[in-house]
C-alpha cells in the first residue's frame, strides 16, 4: 500500500516511523519548518533503551500529485480542516482515510469532504510526546491501533492495512464495533482530562490523598451518565478499564491534554470536553465537574498568545 502520514507529531510520527523502519511505502505530509527538519534530521524515537533515527520522505501539500491507498490522519482537532485541504490531491475514489483523532465529530467532517466511504473508524493508543527538537519521546511502553469499517462490515482493505501493521510489528485489532470503540476512547479521554486537570496531577498523586479515589470515581460516574443519556452507553468492561487506569496507586499516568496544559500549550479542550459539555446541556444533565474542568481550560486558552497555541502537529 502507498501510505501517507498526515500529522507528523507524537502519534503520526511514531506509527509512521515504525512503518518506514519496516520497509513500507510511506510518505509524510508536513508544513513549515517541520518539512525541513524531517528532511535534514529524519524522525527520531526516544525510547528508554535508546534513540533511533529513521530517514523519511517529507512532502508539502504542493508536492502531492498522486493518490494514496491509505491516509493515516493524526492531527490535532484544530488542524483538521487545513489538513483535509492539503490532502485533496492525495485522495482518489479508492483511498481510505484512517483518522486517529480524539472525539467523534471528525468522522462527519471527513465524510462531508470526501464521501461516505472515505473514512474508516480508528482509535490509536500510544504514550508519546513531541519535544522541542521534534523528537518523539516514549513515555510508556505499548502502542496499539484499533480500526474498522464504520458500518461494521469486513472489507478487503482492512486486511491489507493489517498486513502493513504486522510487517511493522505494530499491535492492532480489526473491530466490527469501531464507532463504539471511538465513543469509549472519548469517554476515557474526557474522564482522564477532568481528573488530571481538575485535581492537578498524575493519578498516583491524586489517589494518595484522602478522598482522592472517591473524587475520581465521581468524575467517572458523571461522565458515564452523559454518554449513556446521549445514546452511547459505555460498556462495563470499558468503564472497568478506565477506573483501573485512573485509580491505580503510584501510577504516573496523565493525559496528553493535561501535559499540554501543564506545559503552557494550547489544548483540545473543545473536542474532548467542550463538545461533551454541550451535549450535557442539550440533555439537561448537571455536570459540575465537567463544567469546572472545561472552564479551567478555557481560561488557560485565553491567556495564551496566538504564537503559543498549538493547533496541529
**pLDDT, tens digit, for every residue of 27-64?**
999 988 999 999 999 999 999 889 999 999 999 999 99
Helix axes 178-199, 212-229, angle to 10 degrees: 140
**CA 78 distance to own-chain centroid:** 12
Q: What is the pLDDT of residue 306?
A: 57
Residue that is written with C-alpha cell 464507532 in the block: 179
C-alpha cell at 61: 501539500
What's domain 181-302's architecture? Answer: Orthogonal Bundle (1.10)
The CATH code of domain 2-176 reads 3.40.50.720
User: Are 251 and 203 contacting, i.e. CB atoms less than 8 angstroms apart?
Assistant: yes
Could you tell me where in the chain the CATH 1.10.1040.10 domains are found? 181-302
Quick check: helix, strand or coil at residue 304?
Answer: coil
Cα dihedral sign for 277, 238, 178, 79? positive
Contact residues for 151 (Cβ-Cβ < 8 A; gap 6+): none
C-alpha cell at 131: 519535544
Rounded CA separation 42/35 (Å): 10
The one-character DSSP state at 120 is P
Neighbouring C-alpha atoms within 13 Å toward the C-beta of 249? 3
Which ranges of 42-150 would DSSP assign to H, the alpha helix?
80-86, 106-114
Residues of the chain with pLDDT under 70: 305-313
User: Are 5 and 29 contacting, i.e. CB atoms less than 8 angstroms apart?
Assistant: yes
C-alpha cell at 155: 472489507
- The set of long-range contacts for 36-41, using a CB threshold of 8 Å and a minimum separation of 24, is 37/134, 38/8, 38/134, 41/134
Q: What is the pLDDT of residue 305?
A: 65
Q: What is the pLDDT of residue 312?
A: 44
Q: What is the pLDDT of residue 141?
A: 84
Rounded CA separation 313/294 (Å): 23
Could you tell me where in the chain the CATH 3.40.50.720 domains are found? 2-176
pTM confidence score: 0.90
Rounded CA separation 259/245 (Å): 17
User: Are 313 and 75 contacting, i.e. CB atoms less than 8 angstroms apart?
Assistant: yes
Which ranges of the chain would DSSP assign to H, the alpha helix?
12-21, 32-41, 80-86, 106-114, 156-167, 178-199, 203-207, 212-229, 236-247, 256-262, 269, 275-282, 288-302
Amino acid at each position: 500500500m502507498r501510505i501517507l502520514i498526515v500529522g507528523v507529531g507524537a502519534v503520526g510520527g511514531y506509527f509512521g516511523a515504525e512503518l518506514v523502519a519496516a520497509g513500507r511505502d510511506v510518505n509524510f505530509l508536513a508544513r513549515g519548518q517541520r518539512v525541513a527538519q524531517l528532511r535534514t534530521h529524519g524522525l527520531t524515537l526516544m525510547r528508554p533503551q535508546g534513540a533511533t533515527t529513521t530517514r523519511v520522505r517529507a512532502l508539502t501539500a504542493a508536492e502531492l500529485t498522486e493518490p494514496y491507498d491509505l491516509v493515516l490522519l493524526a492531527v490535532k482537532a484544530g488542524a483538521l480542516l487545513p489538513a483535509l485541504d492539503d490532502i485533496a490531491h492525495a485522495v482518489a475514489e479508492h483511498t481510505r482515510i484512517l483518522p486517529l483523532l480524539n472525539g467523534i465529530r471528525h468522522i462527519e467532517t471527513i465524510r462531508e469532504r470526501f464521501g461516505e466511504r472515505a473514512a474508516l473508524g480508528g482509535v490509536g493508543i500510544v504514550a508519546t510526546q513531541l519535544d522541542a527538537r521534534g523528537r518523539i519521546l516514549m513515555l510508556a511502553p505499548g502502542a496499539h491501533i484499533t480500526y474498522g469499517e464504520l458500518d461494521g462490515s469486513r472489507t478487503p482493505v482492512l486486511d491489507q492495512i493489517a498486513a502493513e501493521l504486522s510487517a511493522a510489528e505494530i499491535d492492532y485489532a480489526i473491530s466490527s464495533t469501531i464507532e463504539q470503540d471511538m465513543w469509549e476512547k472519548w469517554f476515557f479521554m474526557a474522564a482522564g482530562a477532568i481528573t488530571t486537570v481538575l485535581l492537578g496531577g498524575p493519578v498516583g498523586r491524586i489517589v494518595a490523598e484522602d478522598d482522592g479515589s472517591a473524587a475520581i470515581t465521581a468524575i467517572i460516574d458523571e461522565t458515564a451518565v452523559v454518554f449513556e443519556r446521549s445514546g452511547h452507553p459505555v460498556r462495563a468492561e470499558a468503564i472497568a478499564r478506565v477506573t483501573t487506569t485512573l485509580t491505580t496507586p503510584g501510577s504516573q499516568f496523565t493525559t496528553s491534554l493535561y501535559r499540554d496544559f501543564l506545559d503552557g500549550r494550547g489544548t483540545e479542550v473543545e473536542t474532548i470536553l467542550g463538545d461533551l459539555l454541550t451535549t450535557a446541556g442539550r440533555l439537561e444533565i448537571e455536570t459540575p465537574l465537567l463544567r469546572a474542568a472545561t472552564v479551567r481550560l478555557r481560561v488557560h486558552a485565553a491567556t495564551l498568545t496566538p504564537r503559543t497555541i498549538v493547533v496541529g502537529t
